[in-house]
A and B are shown apart, each in its own frame.
Chain A
Amino acid sequence: MASEKENYFNRELSWLQFNMRVLNEAYNPATPLLERLKFLAITASNLDEFFMVRVGGLHTACKSGRRRRDISGLTPHRQLQAIQRKAREMNRYEYNCFNTIIEPELIAAGIERVTIEKLNPGQHNFIFDLFNEELFSCLTPIRLTTHSRPPLIHSLALYCAVRMQGDDERSDGLALIALQPEERRIIDLPTQRGYQFILIEDVVKTNIKSWFPGQKVKECVCFRITRNADMAVQEDEAPDLLSGMEEVLEERKISDCIRLEVEAVASGTIVKMLQNLVNADNSQTYLQDGPIDLKAFMALTGLSGFEHLKFEVWPPLPNPMVDSKSELIPQIRECDILLHHPYESFDPVVRFLEEASIDPSVIAIKQVLYRTSRNSPIVNALKKAARRGKAVTVLVELKARFDEERNIEEAAELELAGAQVIYGVKGFKTHAKICLVVRREHCGIVRYAHFGTGNYNDVTARIYGDIGLLTCNEDLCADAAAFFNIIGAHTQPRPMRKAVMAPLYLRDRLVELIDLEIEMHRKGSRGRISAKMNSLVDQVLIDKLYEASCAGVKIDLNVRGICCLVPGVKGLSQNIRVTSIVGRYLEHARIFCFRHGGNDKVYISSADWMPRNLDRRFELMIPIESESCRHRILEIIKVYLSDSEKSSILESDGEYTPVRARGDKAIHAQELFYRQACESSTQAARRRTTRFEPHRPAT
């Protein structure tokens, strides 16, 4: 039953569907204009990464002649073909949105992209000066000749390609101008009203002849390439992970081109020249009907003075359980604290580490860092603790894709401060979100831990929907210690007390939990599974869900991104419903709930249900056992599953259709969470008695 290829969606096409849902938000007239522009930029940015990693991986597979089919029965070659078709469609949809909806509306709202011809005299002088004083000297054209090696073309960097007349069309010359990343793509123009800007390529194109005196420039177009970034460090061959990672970063700079984007106005001749230059064929070439790289427009979404074009500001609120004026440790000792970001502030997590770093009772801090922010307060607290002589152990995952360079720098800084740094575990990525603080108290050693579904990144914690738990539960903290002992190679892995760890035990445990639900349902107790995750790809778990569905267990899944499970098919998955929320916040929490005969088992996790998470990463799933926290998570997932404003439902044909509210019961989950957070925070503030603290003389 379950092994039939039509029982699964292809993961790449499912991802493209997800990106299409993000793009749909750019079309949504109910969304403020600059937010729509942001969704458009996010779509473009997502697509870049998708090409680098997923298309890159398939490109490598095709190149090496691999023909192994995925669970949906497609060979790598077939998948590439399908992706290219869908990606072109998506590009058309993107540029249609930009050209026909967003840009006209921006102009109407006073935000205007001006072309050279439309510049007023003042702006003209401004651009003239800018070109002569900065751009002309900073930007250097490189003429390509048949005798010299072509220059290195950087992935995702914008270039101008200049075709110069030769003796005949076949001997036309080609020069490249790299629009260096240091140069702003969007140049603000002096204006009396609204906001006007010009794109750097327009300035360059207008003045292109200045670089080529005495030569005839036939055309100048923008292009960029995307290189394959799906390469991992050969951990067995590299002398050490650090140098291995540095090699990978170098290798990415010269890897194969898997996408060539050229402005649609380009002639066939220059496109051919560029294809030859970067070794791309027609299937890899995308002619874009507008400015290349729409993610550059993300810079406009923060424009001040246009607040009416943005979402209402929802600042993260204090968690009602946390008194910001008191130390955190005694509060955690009192009860588990569940944090729901970004509605609730990430500050308690930062404070947890900051207070620990200066707490004389703290003897050790252990932390996994996967992706952090620049100048991260978390990293600073860890450095401070290490400098104060505490035993600080930090696993910095050097293999976190596209954050490698920053992580290498951070690892070096932490080491310099005296922390013991682990660069990850050979052959695996450490993706678990965990922090452990060990204190020596009067009753002995007491441990405190934070487990999360999202990264220790105070910036993304303002836009990613995640769950975190601060606890001193003895079992969970012992498991946290065991986890660090395992990744630090102090012990070989063994099942933990309460937490469940991937890669060894997580899939088995999830199968066990689903099996239990099936068994309970068969015994007459209504079986129900509710889960929220980013992606559902793992065939074993999908098959197990099909089995549960066939047994009558009701399964409600909220899968933001990829979902290879086919829902709603009679005899296979008629009891499975899959929805996806795409809203102002990125849904990132992983929550798994099993009804378990009315005694709900509730878990949070760092892992999606994907083979990479379950087999190739160190992940954690922890049970939420505190009654109030468990109840709260059940409420949270209930709201997510009943969202009717930002949810789409996955149909059995793979298409997503927007969920419609039943009657007048419209539920906007993200908004509801924010309103609830406001209310709880206000109530908590009222509950706390007013207390004045007099200054007293020092004793």
Chain B
Amino acid sequence: MKKPRIKAVIDLGSVSARMEIVQATPDGELRPLDSLYQSVQLGRDTFNSGRIGRNSVEQCVRAFRSFATVIKEYGADLTSDVTAVATSAVREARNCDTFLERIYVATGIWVQPIDGATVNRLTFLGVWPLIRSRTKLLEKNICILEIGGGTTDLLGMRHGEVRFSHSYRFGSYRFLETANRISTIRRIESDMARNEINSLLRSINDDLADIRINRLILMGGEIRFVAHRINPEWDEKTLLTVNLASLRKQAQKFFPLNPEEIASLFKMPIEEAQILGFSLLAYTQIAENLSLKQVLLCGATLRSGLLAEAGNPLKWREDFEKQIISSARQSALKYNCDMNHADCVEKLAQMIFREMSNEHKLNKHHELLLRVAALLHDCGRFVSLSAHHKHSRYLIENSDLFGLSRADIRIVALTARYHRRAEPKPTHTDYNLLTREEKMTVNKLASFLRVADALDNLHTQNAAECTIERTESELRFRVDSVSDIHAAQLALREKSRLFEQIFGLTVTPVVTRKRVNHGV
């Protein structure tokens, strides 16, 4: 029988470094062992000066050394049993790399900076079990909101499927540092806070223009703090429904107090006390803006997501892929893509990917990226038919595609960009910025997408049911329609070259000879 393993996840944010240590049983159950917390001042540094100062670096080193001590006491391995991530305060710092290197050299813990998309993905993983446990929620339009130190993340779901995700450069600590730079007078701060929140509300309104949100789930440290005040018995394992009025009342309680008073009254670190009032005000106003009377407070954290993933990665992958594809389809719909064509190309591309699995040496994740690229390859038509592949690239690159990291999105965007016309060239700046490995991935995925797109060149989806045959030198697609085959042959002249160059196989569409029914 497999023994339970110790897993530790660390989340390095703007004001704190937090670690959860759990025991993961072979069947995926997680038993919490330790929960550690250290205040840091990364947000203050990054959002103020753009870089992490020496004192903050050493403060983090001390925090991570402490974490490492506790991890080692459980006999866990710092490399294989620990997942550590850092969010915007580290990611945006100019000295991000040297900072992470310093942490690694001093403590042996490698911290991965993660982007908004990954935060959204982890948030989903953390909060999904709570949503799933309340079946009625699955029918609603749900929005999950977390205001962090540097960014605010918004995730939308309907019928249990992720519909959108957005990250905003709005954070409590980011605001605090701006406010501190301009003025320390409370009144002005208060006006500034409202202006800042209004600006966020405008962005959210734009993004949710045609969506009516029925339920708002709020996450974050400040929310957990308030939830415990509203209901001391709350165990964080369920969603806590509260009236917006109660939340507003709590927010109003803190906003007039200065951070020292909050820290002393509520026994919290000053770094958290500084942002409590502002965060709660922002949460409340967003909920009011959505015309909601109630909100759901959630105890899940980024670490819950990390733990869920670490505890049973396989179980999560399938669920998660569905959500990513669902989110990509929503984006495709938003850009008025021909969804029949998009679905057909996705199917064909996936078929080719699987057929060539022995040759391309790519993994399941790349298959997912190909599918997303296939769904969105024509989204540039929303801007203009002319050079739409180029429009597709920047639209995808600037979208918040749920569940995909920035690096993933870059690959998807370039794959879509190369679905027609020019093949990848070193003179293409964006392509040239990729690593060699990423370039090879884009080349392979683009080659599959080009062939798939060519096969449905007429957007009839007749090729969707094609079958593939392999010979030593040829990849044959057997399709039913003669008209399709001619169009495909023409398209493949332009589009199959990349595939042929990489895999040494020519691509040939052939018509399936149908039995003629001579009966009456």
Do these two chains really belong together in a complex?
yes
Partner of A492, one of B23, B38, B67: B38
Give the distance to chain B from A336, nearest Cβ to Cβ, in Å: 20
Asked whether A364 lies within 8 Å of B73 as measured between CB atoms, the reply is yes
Docked pose: A138 CA to B4 CA in angstroms: 68
Distance, CA A377 to CA B33, complexed state (A):
29
Are B23 and A478 touching (Cβ within 8 A)? no
Q: Which residues of A contact B74 (CB under 8 A)?
A: 363-364, 438, 445
Q: How far is the CB of A474 from chain B (nearest CB, A)?
A: 8
Cβ contacts under 8 Å, A491 to chain B: 35-38, 66
The answer to the question of B440 belonging to the interface, with a C-beta cut-off of 8 Å to chain A, is no
Q: Determine how close the nearest CB of chain B comes to the CB of A518; give it in whole angstroms.
A: 17
B69 x A445 contact (CB < 8 A) = no
Q: Are B75 and A444 in contact (CB-based, < 8 A)?
A: no
Tell me which of B34, B39, B73, B74 has the highest count of chain A C-beta atoms within 10 A of its own C-beta.
B73
Q: Which of A440, A485, A505 is within 8 Å of B36, CB to CB? A: A485
Q: State the Cβ distance, B271 to closest chain A Cβ, in Å.
A: 10
A490 in the interface, Cβ–Cβ < 8 Å?
A: yes
Q: CB-CB < 8 A to A152: which residues of B?
A: none
Contact-residue size bin, chain B (C-beta under 8 Å from the other chain): 20 to 34
Question: Is B412's CB within 8 Å of the partner chain A?
Answer: no
Complex formed: what's the CA distance from A444 to B38 in Å? 27
A504 at the interface (CB under 8 A from B): yes
**CB nearest neighbor in A for B267:** A504
The residue in chain A whose Cβ has the minimal distance to the Cβ of B76 is: A445
Report the bound CA distance from A462 to B32 in whole Å: 38
The residue from B25, B32, B66 contacting A490, defined by CB atoms under 8 A apart: B66
- Nearest opposing residue in chain A for B23, CB measure: A444
Tell me if A391 is interfacial: C-beta within 8 Å of chain B.
Answer: yes
Set of chain B residues within 8 Å of A492, measured between Cβ atoms? 37-39, 269
Could you tell me the distance in whole angstroms from the C-beta of A390 to the nearest C-beta in chain B? 10
Instruction: Report the separation of the CA atoms of residues A42 and B267 in the bound assembly, to the nearest whole angstrom.
Output: 41
With a CB–CB cut-off of 8 A, which chain B residues contact A391?
72-73
Give the residues in chain A near B32, CB-CB below 8 Å: 478
Residues of B within 8 A of A474 (CB): 31
Q: Which of A442, A445, A481, A494 contacts B6 (CB 8 A)?
A: A445
Nearest A-chain residue to B70, judged by Cβ: A490
Return the contact of B34 from the options A440, A478, A505 (Cβ within 8 A).
Answer: A478
Contact with B along A242-261 (1 / 0, CB 8 A): 00000000000000000000
Complex Cα–Cα for A493 and B74 (A):
21
Q: Do B67 and A490 touch (CB < 8 A)? A: yes
A482, CB-defined interface residue at 8 Å:
yes
B3 contacts partner chain A, Cβ-Cβ < 8 Å: yes
Produce 1/0 per residue, B212-247, CB < 8 A to A: 000000000000000000000000000000000000
Contacts of B6 in A (CB 8 A): 445
Assess the B34–A482 pair: CB atoms within 8 A. Answer: yes
Using CB atoms, name the residue of chain A closest to B36: A491
A226 to chain B, nearest CB (A): 39
User: Do the beta carbons of B3 and A444 come within 8 Å of each other?
Assistant: yes
B73 touches A489 (CB 8 A): no
- Asked if A490 and B267 sit within 8 Å, CB to CB, the answer is no
Q: Provided the pairs A445-B6, A504-B267 are in contact, do residues A363 and B73 lie with their beta carbons within 8 angstroms?
A: yes
Tell me, rounded to whole Å, the shortest Cβ–Cβ distance linking B403 to chain A: 31
Q: Are A444 and B36 in contact, CB atoms less than 8 angstroms apart? A: no
State whether A440 touches B75 (Cβ < 8 A).
yes
Chain A contacts with B in 473-488, Cβ cutoff 8 A = 474, 478, 481-482, 485, 488
B34 contacts A442, CB within 8 Å? no
Q: How far is the CB of B147 from chain A (nearest CB, A)?
A: 21
Q: Which of A445, A493, A505 touches B33 (beta carbons < 8 Å)?
A: A445
Assess A444 versus B66: contact at CB under 8 Å? Given A478-B33, A505-B267: no
Q: Mark B258-270, 1 if CB is under 8 A from A, else 0.
A: 0000000001010
The chain B residue sitting closest to A446, CB to CB, is: B23
Cross-chain contact B66 with A489 (CB below 8 angstroms): yes
- Are A481's CB and B4's CB within 8 A? no
From A444, A478, A490, A505, contact of B69 by CB (8 A): A490
Given A444-B3, A490-B66, A492-B269, the answer on whether A438 and B35 have CB atoms closer than 8 Å is no
The reply to whether B33 and A481 contact each other, CB–CB distance below 8 Å, is yes
Say whether A443 faces chain B, with CB atoms less than 8 Å apart. Answer: yes
Whether the Cβ atoms of A445 and B267 lie closer than 8 Å is no
Minimum CB–CB distance for A325 against chain B, Å: 31
Cα of A535 to Cα of B74 in the assembled complex, Å: 40
Interface string of A489-505 (1 = CB under 8 A from B): 11111100000000011
Interface residues of A (CB under 8 A from B): 363-364, 391, 438, 440, 442-445, 474, 478, 481-482, 485, 488-494, 504-505
Known: A445-B4, A445-B6, A445-B33; 14 extra A-B contacts, CB below 8 A, are: A363-B74, A364-B73, A391-B72, A438-B74, A443-B4, A478-B34, A481-B33, A485-B34, A485-B70, A488-B66, A490-B36, A491-B38, A494-B37, A505-B267
11 CB contacts below 8 A, A to B, read A391-B72, A444-B23, A445-B23, A478-B32, A478-B34, A481-B33, A485-B70, A488-B66, A490-B67, A491-B38, A493-B267
